[in-house]
Amino acid sequence: MVPFFHLESYFKTYGRKEPQTLNHQPCSFALGHPDKPFFEVLGMDKKHLERFIIGMRVVESGNPASGIYDFSWLVDKAKSTPAERPVFVDVGGGQGQALLSIQEEFPELPIDRFVLEDLPETIEAVKRADIPRLKEVAKVPINFHAEQPIKGELSYIR
């Protein structure tokens, strides 16, 4: 709600238009760091970041990745591709909720060929959480505004 309450000041400062850059956007403006991108501001406050991660977990629980799409084709495809080739890359996957729910629905998918990508701060939080079912999942810190670092996967989600 904080950005919402600052929109009038934001629009007076930048005009009534969508942000054109990674910085100078409503969230960073409202939090007092208009020159920084949102995720950089988010990472400046560990408690805020943790609340954001919890919020994303709640969003995922209301909009689950499993039960919507039939990944059975991917089970067969994974069996016929080299073991080093990732099966799933979840871009911005938070704490791996989507990967875990999909693997639970399709246990034949090899979880050691899943990749969880997110901000460095989020990946560190996932590592600290030490979630047993994510032990074999590769955890890769990324910059959402840079080129995708992993190529040749069977499937991307997010």
Helix (H) or strand (E) holding 74: helix 72-79
Domains of the chain: 2-62 (no CATH), 72-157 (3.40.50.150)
Percentage of residues in the chain with pLDDT exceeding 90? 33
- For residue 117, the model assigns a pLDDT of 94
Distances (CA, A) of 16 to 8, 58, 78, 114, 133: 9, 31, 48, 42, 46
- CB neighbour list of residue 89: distance below 8 Å, 6 or more residues apart: 114, 115, 117, 148, 150, 153, 155, 156, 157
At 58-109, the pLDDT tens digits run: 776 666 666 678 888 899 899 999 988 899 899 988 888 888 888 999 999 9
Residue 121 near residue 43 (C-beta atoms within 8 A): yes
> What predicted TM-score, i.e. pTM, was given to this entire model?
0.70
pLDDT surpassing 80 at residue 133: yes
